[in-house]
Each structure stands twice: as C-alpha cells, then as structure tokens.
Structure 1
Amino acid sequence: GLRGERVGVFAGVIQDDYAGLTRAAGAGRFGSFTSTGLHRSVVANRVSYFLGLTGPSLVVDSGQSSSLVAVQQACDALRRGECSMALAGGVNLLLAAETSVAVERFGGLSREGRSYVFDARADGYVRGEGGGVVVLKLLSDAVADGDDVVCVIRGGAVNNDGGGEGLTVPRCGAQVEVVGLALERSGLGALDVAYVELHGTGTPLGDPVEARALGRVYGVGRSVPLVVGSAKSNVGHLEGAAGVVGLIKAALVVREGLVPASLNFVSAHPDMDLDGWGLRVQCGLGEWPVRGVRRAGVSSFGMGGTNVHLVLEQAPDPASPEQASPDSVRVVPWVLSARSEAALREQAVRLREFVTGNGDVACSDVGRSLVVSRSVFDHRAVVVGSGRGELLAGLDAVAVGEVGPG
C-alpha cells in the first residue's frame, strides 16, 4: 500500500559474515547476483525495491551504535521533509565462526557467557543475533492518521569521542556531551528523565565510564535515583542492531509504565559509585519510579567512538484532543529575558532557530522550559500565540525591535 510513497529505509549493519563466507567459497561459486548480494547498501535498498518506497534508502555503519544512529538519521530526514515516514533499525546475524574468534581475541567476550552489566563480575559481553525495526512519523502526522503511537522521540544527538586513550576506549566527556546535547534538543532537563536504557555491555572498561557520564548529567540534584538497565542482559549484544533493541525496550517501558529487570546484577563494579552518582540498577519488574509524564533516555556507543543518545516521551492520550495536539489548542506564552535590548533580540533569533530546527518540539513545552529553566533579567519580552506560526512571527518582531499583535 506504500508503493510510490516517499518512505525512507535506514538500516544499521556492521558485520560482513555472509560476504566473508561467499568469498571463502571461491570465485567459481560466484554468480550474476553475487556483486549486489555482497553490498551492505542493498540491505536497505532491497527493502525499498521490494516495497516500492522512494524515500532515502541507506545503510549506516558506526559500529555498535549503527542502528540507533540510523534511527536518529531517519528522524532528521523526517524533520527536513525528505520522507513522510521511515523504517529504521538494524540486523545482526552470526554466520561465521571467525568473527566470534576475532571478538574473543580482541578481549570483548565474557568468559562466563553472561552479561554482568554494571556488576562487579563484569568480564565482557555475549554476542546476540536478530534485528528490529521501528516505524517513524512526525507526531502530527501520526495523530492525524489515527496511528497507535507507542512513544515520542523528543530529540537526540550523535558525536564521537574524538580521541582519547585508544581508538576503542570510551571517553567519559564525549558521553556527557552527547547526553547533554540530546536533552537540549529535546527541550528537557535531566530531571525530566526517570529511566535510561544503557549501552550497558558488561565490560569492566566501558561500564564504569558510562555510569560516571550518566551521573554527571542525570544524577545531579535528584531526589529519586535514575533507574537504569540493559537489554543486553536479556538477549545479548546485537552489535549493529543493539541500539534499536534498546530503543524498542525503552519505548515499551515508557508506554507501559513498567520497568523490567536488568539481569545478573548483584553488586556494583568497584569503579562505580552508583549511590553517589544518583543511579539505581533495576533488579526486578517495577512501577515507573516517579509521577508525571514518562520520559526515558537510550544510549548506544560504537567501538570507534561514535555515540548516540535519544530521549523518549510517553505518547499523548488519543482520547484527549488537548494533549494530542498541544500546539493547536490553547494560547501559549514564550517568555524571553536578557541583560540588554540587543541580547534580548539575539535571544529571539536563537529561540527561533531552535524551534524551526526541531519540528517535533511542542510549543507548550518550549513555553514551560522558558519559564522554569531560565534566569530572569531586566530586559524582557513575551510572545503570545495559539500556534507555531503566530509564535514565530512574534519572535521575528522581537528580533527587529518591533511591537505588534502577540
């Protein structure tokens, strides 16, 4: 039914087991389809071909963060209007024994065959096989189409470690930065998020770095600890598809308001101060830890340093028109404040750039954040409007020093 539609396909894939096995069989086994069959790009392109989809179609390889980076790229394409809907995710198949041998000699695998995420026994990860795909739309389109919205992706960010102790050694500062950027682009503060689905591989090197980074961003000033967990303790590390597995779990956690156990945790790794960093590993099925709108973070990190973090939010109640379409129901004030008139005009320009660059952020959420998270100075302006267009027009007026309706 989507044939000819501008639907994008974004797939995270990192392993070449099939290609390796094919080449090992020798050129005598090659046929007319071998060349296309060995192209990673065709993992996405064949889906577009089979379903007749005309939007962007590509494979992402950023290491173990590939599938979550694919989701973030799909979100960006939707915001830019490059596609009307997107299929995003990843796949990981364990076909060649040599790949597991290489990972074992790299030092990544658990000798015990268990993912002891954040635990003192952590000694590596367990390889997992499978894949996952999510269907993405702009929230306004999904609501208008009557879709079952599982959750909303408020925002996300991607960066790289940019060097450090080694190519495959994670850098705490870069993880702090990517989480902070994701929150900023979501229009939320750290205390708005109650749960984080960890990258959480169960390695004695990576886990303490991730925990410390989360503590620096999410753990400050919390009255209730940030709850964390990792699907890798349930299904293993799906490598190129690991990020979308974590996303699917986190989306269901946000929808259901129940947090499942992160398995195999008894006591924290000695390099972690979970209590001091404001973190708590979920050890059994539990209710959402705080009242209010449910929001969660999802992390995925590639071995070459490409990090991604997304922020999810509980879907609006379809039975409540006011909640389902916050930008079209009521008048919203946007309050600006600065130390000088020139700075006030610049605030209006910066706010306009933020709002237009984040098409899914709700006008009401912008208004709330401006009131509760910004300092108050002597020079002020208030823009009032019942929709995005009126509010942006008001910002334009403030930016040039004009006074008018709204």
Structure 2
Amino acid sequence: MVSEFETTAPDTTAPDTAAPGTAAPSPAAGDTAAIAVIGLACRLPGAPDPRTFWQNLVEGRESITDVPADRWDVTAYYDADRDAPGRTNSRRAGHLENVDRFDTGFFGISPREAAAMDPQQRLILELSWEALEDGRIVPTDLRGSRTGVFVGAIWDDYATLLHRHGTDAIGRHTITGLHRSIIANRVSYTLGLHGPSMAVDAAQSSSLVSVHMACQSLRNGESNLALAGGVNLNLVPESTVGAAKFGGLSPDGRCHTFDARANGYVRGEGAGLVLLKPLAQALADGDRVHCVIRGSAVNNDGATNGLTVPSRRAQEKVLRRALARAGVTGRDVQYVELHGTGTPLGDPIEAAALGAAVGADHEDGPALAVGSVKTNVGHLEGAAGITGLIKTVLSIKHRRLPPSLNFETPNPDIPLDRLRLRVQTELGDWPSPERPLIAGVSSFGMGGTNCHVVLAEAPEGEPASYGTGESGESGDSGGPTALVLSARTEGALREQAGRVRALLDERPGVRVRDVAWSLVASRARFGRRAVVAGADRAELVAGLDAFAAGGAGAGVAGSAGGRLAFLFTGQGSQRVGMGRGLYASFPVFAAAFDEVVAAFDGLLDVPLVEAVDGELVHETGVTQPGL
C-alpha cells in the first residue's frame, strides 16, 4: 500500500524568463517540486508496450498503413480532391490491432456492459493496470488511496458508431459506456481510488495537459500517486473526413516535420499512461525512477488571426515559464520533442518560438536537437502529448536519441542555423552526454491551449534495480528459485507461464531471481495459482514449458485456490544443521532465527545456535526448542 504524505506547494508566480546559469544539477531528493515517473504503459501503432515502442524508434520504423478493412472501407471515402463532399484526401494512418477485444472477466465487467463501453475506456483500464505493475505497485493494494487519474480524450467515435443503429440501440449502459468522463472514472471505480479523476479535453494538447494537472495535484497534496496520459481511437470515417475538411491531413500519408515537403499530418491512434509520484517519496519508497518531471506550464494563445492560428508569442511564453519552474535555462536543455505536426503554418511558428526561448541559449555550443514522434506513429491528437512524453522518457532512460523521420530539406520558412535548432535524423548520443540529460516536450491544441513539460534524468544514488530490468550479469546464483504465477482462469495461468518463458528466452540478461521477485511483490494475487521451481534457469524453463503446454512436470505445483496451512511436525523431524542453508541465503530468515535463539540464552547448557548444529540436536532438551 502506498503510504500517504504531504508535499509543499511550489511557488506559482514564477517569472516568464529564466535567470542565466550554468548546467542545471540533477533534482535533489528533497525537491518538493520534482515529480518522479515510476511507471510506463502504452499501446501504439506497431507497439503493444514501451519496450517494442523503443525498439521501433531506435530502428527508425514508420508504423503507418492504409486504413484496415475491418474499420471502414477507405476506397468509399477517399478522394484526392480534399474539397470533394464527404471524402478524405488521405487513406493512411497509424492503427492498433484488436481494439474490439477485451477481457471482461478480468475487470469484473459483464459482456453486455463491455459491449456498450467505448473501447477507449477498455484501453485505459488495461494500461492503468500495466502502468501500476511497471511501477511495482500491486493495483489491488491501492483501494482507498489518494491516487488520481487524469486522461486526455477528445473524440467520441464509438458513440457515432452506436448511434447509427438508432434509439433502439440505447440501453442501460449507454450513458456510462459513452460518456467521456467515465474513461478516467472507470479506473477509479475499478481500483477503488479516491484521488481526483477526470477526462481532459484541451484538443490536441489534452494528454500533456493531463500530465501537468497530475503534477500539480501531487504537489499540492490532493493526490499521493497519479496516473496521467491520454487515449485516441479512430473508429469511423466521420472524424477522419472532418480532419480532412479542416485542412490538416497530409495527402501522401506522411508527416514531414520541419521539412520543405510539410503538407499536413497523418492520423494515429493509441494510448499511453505514466505513473507519477513526488520524487522525494519515490526515493524514500525505493521506487525505480525512469526520469523526473522538473516543471511544466500551460497557457493559451488568446486572440490571434484566427481561432486555430497558433501564436508564436504564447508558445514562447509557455516554454520560458516551464523552464523557470524547472529551474533550468535554455542552455541546459539538450533535446525537445516537438509538437511537430508537419503543417506549413504550424511548423515555422513553433520553430520560431523554440529558437527564441531555448535555441538562443545554444549560440556557443551544440545546436538544440529536436524531433517529432508523429513521423513514426502519426498524430495521436488527444494522446499526442503523452506519446511524445513516453518517447522522451525512454530516450533519457536509454541515454540515446532516436531519429525523427521524413526530414530531408528544411522548410524555407525555418532557418534552423539561425534558430540554433537541429533535427535529429539518426540514432545517436545526446549532444552533451557528460552533462545532466534535460529535455522538453511540447504539445499544442488547435484552440490555442499550449503545454510544455521539462524532463530530467533520475538523480544519482537511486536504489538498486529489482524486477525484470536487465541486470548486466550473465547468470543466476544462490540456489533454487520459485516462480509464482497467478491468474483468474486456468487458461490465463498457463498463458502467463508461456509469457514468462518467452521473457527468459528473449532477454538472457534478466536474472530469474529478479523475475521471481516481481511476480511475488508487484503482481496482484488471483485465485488460480501455480509455482514453478528449479535449481537453475534450465529447470525453470523446462517447468514453464511443461505447464504452458498443459502439463505439470517436475518442480510444478498448481492450486485452484483454497487457504494456506502450515504443519508443524513435532519431535522426530530434527536434523543436524537444520536451517543452515536458509540462514546463509536469506537475511530475513537469519534475523528471525537470531532473535528466537537469543530468547533461549541462559536457559540451556549450550547456546541453542551451537546445539542445533551438532549431534546435541537429537537430545530432547535441545530438540524441542530447536524445532
């Protein structure tokens, strides 16, 4: 259970300009404004999880395809003429697979209610669970806690799909299934969370604004833990036709950020969440910290030349304010993940604002590296900001900058050299890896709501990592290991065995003891259980294979539930040196053993710890207390 604590609210009257300074230090453990990112989860085009997403980024993979036939018939709605009534001038987008699938039983939702739920609700439920597990927090342990949920979402495609069937299709679950607020509220209800819970609609900046709001909630103490992010699903042609008529879509189905070919964006879908906690508390709790949010800011363009025309001045102000709140200068920032839609109007305005607020401080050093994840997966609109944030978190964690795609010749309206900006076109190191890694993430909404978040690497002295992270060691040692599996159904239990087996096969650097720790300490416990034990990695792999295939080989024990019992056998089970192996391998056992035997000091002729280690253990006066 996450313990409750209070934090000090930060000064909210920070100036718009940052004072000049040298390289910013890493955030200190006592910094009440710093927020730790301790968990990640995402479902993005071509990437069902953060690990695959990072691999795609490193390889420079573009996950854009033609609209799948099981969504809608793109040929019936496509026309190269953008002005053709009821048609879209783009036939490509970034899509997820199997958005219609959902494990109703896992979340205790009836099939009838699940059918009425917007798939955006289902997706956020799944990712909430995954983000908590990535943060090594058992989801079921949070009931009653001040955990907040902030989710950006702007489209209601599923409602459009349902309403095609007329009023007869409306039922008792329709309102809760389609109402956008329930995307966040469903998570709070399912897990019993008592912190703030809301869907945020600030247009395309919604998910990054959600992260900003979550950080503020953590800083002022109304939340002690927070899930923040966004979701975006493109299920019907109407929303795509609308984007085409708005003039935003790229006819060639690619996003050419900052490039001379910039002609619009390509739509994308998916979702992402981060699990946040005040840095001081995260370090005190021994959490693994992926990176740190040092500061953020939100503003609006106000009155411009048009409702959807961005303001260079407002974007510059939000950048400067975020830097000031983070306590860093433009020179400290080495990379910025752009809003970067690849539009002829938006890109030059964003570049000018970024050059003035950040690039200008790079006159005497390497130019500021910039990139846009929209070139990989498309513009996720309501989930665009969280996608860029997760990319940047991973870039800090792995200390590498992945390439931004589709850039050849700079837009003539973007003087990169003068602005001191450089598009990151290849996988490479950070410009100054010897300095603290600090990055910014921008996201702007079409109605003028701008958000910028400043990230930094985790502070030095982080506790040793446990769980399924790479250990850097070639093998395991220390005796037998038990892998505890748990699921709601027998089929899911065996599937989990197969997934653990695949993990050990795909990542030989992972220690089985770390996997065993994660399965016990950071996973919920369900009614169906199995334990796979082995003296070494090979025995564990064999046991997992056998159980996954439907059998139960040596070292495998299963349970359909029931209560745990201990049997104390009494005199006759003693042996010389009993407990010696446990004492040497497990400090918790050793401490308990020392405490118990100390209680017998002065009551026996020989110290008990010595007696049980020799033949005296078979004498009744020693056997009884020894056992």
One fold, TM greater than 0.5? yes
> How many Å separate the matches in 2 of 1:318 and 1:300?
32
User: Runs (4+) of structure 1 moved beyond 3 Å?
Assistant: 318-321
From 206, 209, 220, the equivalent of 1:66 is 206
> How many Å separate the matches in 1 of 2:191 and 2:262?
43
Counterpart amino acid of 2:380?
L
> How many Å separate the matches in 2 of 1:310 and 1:98?
32
Counterpart amino acid of 1:185?
R
> How big is the shift at 1:96?
1.0
SS in 2 for 1:308: strand
Match of 2:107 in 1: none
Match of 2:215 in 1: 75
> How big is the shift at 1:320?
7.9
> How big is the shift at 1:221?
3.7
From 401, 404, 411, the equivalent of 1:259 is 401
SS in 2 for 1:156: strand
> How many Å separate the matches in 2 of 1:16 and 1:303?
17
Match of 1:186 in 2: 326
> How many Å separate the matches in 2 of 1:105 and 1:239?
16
**Deviations 1:290-318 (CA, angstroms, capped at 9, x unpaired):** 13100000000000000000000110123
TM-score w.r.t. the length of structure 2 is: 0.51
Counterpart amino acid of 2:379?
H
Greater fraction of residues in strand: 1
SS in 2 for 1:259: coil
> How many Å separate the matches in 1 of 2:218 and 2:299?
20
Would you say the 8 A contact 2:151–2:210 is kept in 1? yes
Match of 1:132 in 2: 272
**Deviations 1:72-129 (CA, angstroms, capped at 9, x unpaired):** 0000000010011000000000111111001011110000101101000000000001
> How many Å separate the matches in 2 of 1:93 and 1:319?
37
1:298 aligns with 2:441: yes
> How many Å separate the matches in 2 of 1:21 and 1:320?
49
From 401, 418, 423, the equivalent of 1:276 is 418
Match of 1:358 in 2: none
1:211 aligns with 2:351: yes
> How big is the shift at 1:187?
1.1
Query: Where does the alignment leave 5 or more consecutive residues of structure 2 unmatched?
Result: 1-140, 465-627
> How big is the shift at 1:24?
2.3
Match of 2:164 in 1: 24
Number of aligned residues: 321
1:155 aligns with 2:295: yes
Match of 2:458 in 1: 315
> How many Å separate the matches in 2 of 1:72 and 1:7?
15
Would the alpha carbon gap of residues 90 and 221 (structure 1) be closer, same or farther in structure 2, given more than 3 Å must change? Answer: closer
From 7, 14, 33, the equivalent of 2:173 is 33
SS in 2 for 1:276: helix
SS in 2 for 1:86: strand
> How many Å separate the matches in 1 of 2:168 and 2:377?
38
Would the alpha carbon gap of residues 285 and 33 (structure 1) be closer, same or farther in structure 2, given more than 3 Å must change? Answer: same
> How big is the shift at 1:319?
4.6
> How big is the shift at 1:171?
0.7
Match of 1:287 in 2: 429
> How many Å separate the matches in 2 of 1:38 and 1:283?
41
Return the index of the structure with the highest Cα Rg.
2
1:53 aligns with 2:193: yes
1:14 aligns with 2:157: no
Would the alpha carbon gap of residues 88 and 319 (structure 1) be closer, same or farther in structure 2, given more than 3 Å must change? Answer: closer
> How big is the shift at 1:46?
0.2
Would you say the 8 A contact 2:287–2:463 is kept in 1? no
> How many Å separate the matches in 1 of 2:288 and 2:255?
33
> How many Å separate the matches in 2 of 1:320 and 1:83?
24
> How big is the shift at 1:137?
0.2
From 359, 366, 387, the equivalent of 1:245 is 387
Would you say the 8 A contact 2:283–2:462 is kept in 1? no
> How big is the shift at 1:51?
1.0
Match of 2:115 in 1: none
> How big is the shift at 1:238?
0.4
Query: Where does the alignment leave 5 or more consecutive residues of structure 1 unmatched?
Result: 322-406
CA RMSD of aligned residues (A): 1.1
Counterpart amino acid of 2:218?
L
